[in-house]
C-alpha cells in the first residue's frame, strides 16, 4: 500500500514536470520574436479593439472638455509654427536643389506621416506596449518609427489590418539597440548606441562612447538612420549628464526625453516612402 | 450566459481603463479579467469544465488583443483556474475572504508570468519590476473584485442564480 502511494506521488511529479516542460516549449515556439500575426489573430484583435475604441469615445469627449485650456495654448503655439513652416519650406527647397546638384535620389529622412490614436496602454503590466488604431490597411508596416510632437517613442512591433502595437523605448527588453548621435557642435556629432532606460531615474543611457569630445549638457540626441527601423534626425531627448568609466576610456551619457510616456494619447507614424 | 458576458465586459474594461490611468501607474495596474474569473467561480456550480474553458479562452483573448503573445495567458489562466478551484475548497465566498483571495491570485499571476517570461527569454525584467507589478495591482483589483461581488450578489437574488458558498 505504501509503495503504491509513493509511486503515485512520483508519477504525479513526472506528469507535472512533463506538462510544465510542454507548456514552456509551446509558449517559446509560438511566441518567437518578429512573428507575424495569423489571420484569426488579426480578426480577433481588430474586432475586440473596435469595441474598445467605440467604448472609449465618451472618455475622449470628457477628456476633450478638460483639455480646452490646453487648446488655447496650442493655438498660440500654432501661430509660432506658421513662421517656422516658412523657414522649413525654404530649407526643403534648398535640399531639393542640392539633391539635384549631387544627383541624389533619396535620403534617409524621406518619410510620410500618419496620425493615430492610442486605444490601450500597457495592458498586462510587463509589456511597455501601446495599441494604436492604424494598421496594415493604412499602410503601416512592422518596424516603422512612432513619434509624438516631443520626440521618438518607439517602433511598430506587430500589425493587424486596422490596429498596430507599438513597443515603447522605455521597454526593459534590451535586445534592440538603437543607433543614436549627439550633436556636440553645428556640424559635429558623437555616435553611440542607446543602451536602455532606467525607470527609476526616467533617463535613457548611451554607453561606450569612446570619442574624446566635450559633450555639452542639453545637447540634442537624435537617431542616426543607420538601422533599418528609424529614419535619421528624429529627436529622442536632451543630454542630462555624462560620466566616465573606471579607466577613463569610455563615456556614458544619460539623457531625458521630453515625451511624457505615462500619458500618450495621440501618435504619429513615420511611414517609409517606397522611394527611400 | 451572463457569466461569459461579465467576463467579456471585464476583458473590455481591462483595455479601456488603461486610457484613464498613467502607463506605469503605481496603484492602478488592472487584471479585471482574472478578477472576474475569481469572483464568478462560485457561480459555475458543477460546471468546473466550463470554468476551465472560459478561463483559457479569456486568457487567449488577452494574449491576442492586448499582449501580442499566443497561449501564454491562455495557459497561465488555466493554471490559475485550478488554483482558484483549490482555494475555494478551503475559503468560502465572502466579501472579506475575497480580498484575501484576490491578493493570492494576483501574486500567483504576477509571479508565474514573471518567471515564464524570464525562462522563455521573451523579455528580461528586474526583480524591482516584479515587486512593483504586485504592489501596483492590488488596490484597483480588490476594489473591482468587491464591486463585482456585490453586483453578482444582487444579480443572484434578481435572477435566482445558483452559487457554491
Structural domains of chain A sorted by starting position, each given as residue range(s) with its CATH number in brackets: 178-256 (2.40.10.350)
In this complex, the residue of B11, B62, B129 whose CB is nearest that of residue A172 is B129
In order of A45, A57, A125, B84, the CA distances from A119 in angstroms are: 12, 10, 16, 31
**What's the confidence (pLDDT) of residue A212?**
76
Please give the biggest Cα pair distance in chain A.
93
Among chain A residues, CA nearest to B113: A126
Among chain A residues, CA nearest to B10: A52
Task: Please give, rounded to a whole number of angstroms, the shortest distance from the CA of A265 to a CA of chain B.
Answer: 8
Cβ of residue A132 closer than 8 Å to a chain B Cβ = no
CB pair distance less than 8 Å for B68 and A51: no
Asked whether residue B165 is assigned to any structural domain, the reply reads: no
* Test the A interface: residue of B77, B120, B135 with most A CBs within 10 Å: B120
CB pair distance less than 8 Å for B126 and A172: yes
* A199 contacts in chain B (CB < 8 Å): 24, 129
The one-character DSSP state at A199 is T
Asked whether residue B76 is assigned to any structural domain, the reply reads: yes
Measured from the Cβ of residue B150, the count of other Cβ atoms closer than 10 Å reads: 12
In this complex, the residue of A118, A123, A130 whose CB is nearest that of residue B14 is A123
Query: Mean pLDDT across the stretch A103-131?
Result: 75
pLDDT of B106 over the 80 cut: yes
pLDDT of A275 over the 90 cut: no
Among chain A residues, CA nearest to B24: A262
Q: Does this complex have an ipTM over 0.90? A: no
Cβ of residue A164 closer than 8 Å to a chain B Cβ = no
| Per-residue pLDDT tens over the stretch B23-76 | 777 788 889 999 999 999 998 877 889 999 999 999 999 999 988 888 889 999
Asked whether residue B164 is assigned to any structural domain, the reply reads: no
Residue A167: helix, strand or coil by DSSP? Answer: strand
Task: Please give, rounded to a whole number of angstroms, the shortest distance from the CA of B30 to a CA of chain A.
Answer: 8
Please, are residues B40 and B52 in contact by the beta-carbon 8 Å criterion? Answer: no
pLDDT of A98 over the 80 cut: no
Task: Domain of residue B126: give its range.
Answer: 2-159
In this complex, the residue of B16, B73, B136 whose CB is nearest that of residue A56 is B16
CA distance A265 to A116: 9
Query: Mean pLDDT across the stretch A248-272?
Result: 85
> Domain total for chain B?
1
| Per-residue pLDDT tens over the stretch B127-140 | 888 888 899 889 99
CA distance A251 to A263: 32
- What phi and psi, each to the nearest 5 degrees, are found at residue A95? -60, -45
Query: Mean pLDDT across the stretch B153-157?
Result: 88
* A157 contacts in chain B (CB < 8 Å): 68
More confident of the two residues A204 and A9: A204
Among chain B residues, CA nearest to A33: B122
pLDDT of B101 over the 90 cut: yes
Please, are residues B73 and B67 in contact by the beta-carbon 8 Å criterion? Answer: yes
CA distance A81 to A5: 79
Task: Please give, rounded to a whole number of angstroms, the shortest distance from the CA of B46 to a CA of chain A.
Answer: 25
Amino acid at each position: 500500500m505504501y509503495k503504491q502511494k509513493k509511486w503515485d506521488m512520483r508519477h504525479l511529479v513526472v506528469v507535472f514536470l512533463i506538462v510544465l516542460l510542454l507548456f514552456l516549449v509551446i509558449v517559446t515556439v509560438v511566441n518567437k520574436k518578429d512573428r507575424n500575426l495569423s489571420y484569426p489573430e488579426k480578426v480577433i484583435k481588430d474586432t475586440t479593439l473596435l469595441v474598445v475604441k467605440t467604448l472609449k469615445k465618451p472618455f475622449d469627449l470628457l477628456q476633450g472638455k478638460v483639455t480646452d485650456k490646453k487648446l488655447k495654448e496650442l493655438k498660440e503655439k500654432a501661430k509660432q509654427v506658421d513662421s517656422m513652416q516658412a523657414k522649413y519650406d525654404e530649407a526643403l527647397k534648398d535640399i531639393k536643389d542640392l539633391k539635384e546638384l549631387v544627383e541624389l535620389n533619396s535620403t534617409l529622412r524621406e518619410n510620410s506621416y500618419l496620425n493615430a490614436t492610442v486605444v490601450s496602454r500597457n495592458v498586462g503590466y510587463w509589456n511597455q506596449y501601446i495599441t494604436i488604431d492604424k494598421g496594415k490597411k493604412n499602410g503601416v508596416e512592422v518596424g516603422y518609427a512612432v513619434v509624438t510632437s516631443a520626440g521618438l517613442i518607439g517602433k511598430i512591433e506587430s500589425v493587424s489590418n486596422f490596429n498596430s502595437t507599438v513597443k515603447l523605448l522605455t521597454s526593459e527588453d534590451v535586445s534592440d539597440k538603437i543607433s543614436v548621435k549627439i550633436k556636440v557642435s553645428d556640424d559635429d556629432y558623437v555616435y553611440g548606441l542607446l543602451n536602455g532606460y532606467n525607470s527609476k531615474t526616467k533617463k535613457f543611457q548611451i554607453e561606450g562612447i569612446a570619442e574624446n569630445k566635450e559633450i555639452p549638457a542639453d545637447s540634442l540626441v537624435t537617431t542616426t538612420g543607420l538601422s533599418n527601423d528609424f529614419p535619421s534626425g528624429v529627436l529622442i531627448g536632451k543630454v542630462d549628464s555624462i560620466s566616465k568609466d573606471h579607466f577613463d576610456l569610455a563615456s556614458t551619457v544619460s539623457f531625458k526625453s521630453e515625451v511624457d510616456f505615462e500619458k500618450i494619447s495621440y501618435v504619429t507614424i513615420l511611414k517609409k516612402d517606397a522611394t527611400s | 450566459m451572463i457569466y461569459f458576458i461579465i467576463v467579456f465586459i471585464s476583458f473590455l474594461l481591462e483595455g479601456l481603463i488603461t486610457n484613464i490611468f498613467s502607463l506605469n501607474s503605481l496603484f492602478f495596474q488592472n487584471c479585471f479579467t482574472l478578477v472576474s474569473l475569481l469572483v464568478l467561480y462560485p457561480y459555475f456550480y458543477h460546471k468546473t469544465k466550463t470554468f476551465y474553458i472560459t478561463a483559457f479562452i479569456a486568457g487567449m483573448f488577452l494574449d491576442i488583443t492586448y499582449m501580442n503573445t499566443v497561449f501564454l495567458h491562455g495557459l497561465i489562466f488555466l493554471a490559475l483556474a485550478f488554483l482558484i478551484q483549490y482555494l475555494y475548497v478551503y475559503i468560502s465566498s465572502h466579501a472579506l475572504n475575497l480580498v484575501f483571495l484576490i491578493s493570492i491570485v494576483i501574486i500567483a499571476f504576477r509571479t508565474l508570468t514573471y518567471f515564464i517570461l524570464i525562462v522563455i527569454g521573451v523579455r528580461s525584467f528586474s526583480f524591482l519590476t516584479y515587486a512593483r507589478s504586485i504592489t501596483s495591482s492590488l488596490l484597483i483589483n480588490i476594489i473591482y473584485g468587491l464591486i463585482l461581488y456585490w453586483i453578482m450578489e444582487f444579480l443572484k437574488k434578481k435572477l435566482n442564480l445558483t452559487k457554491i458558498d
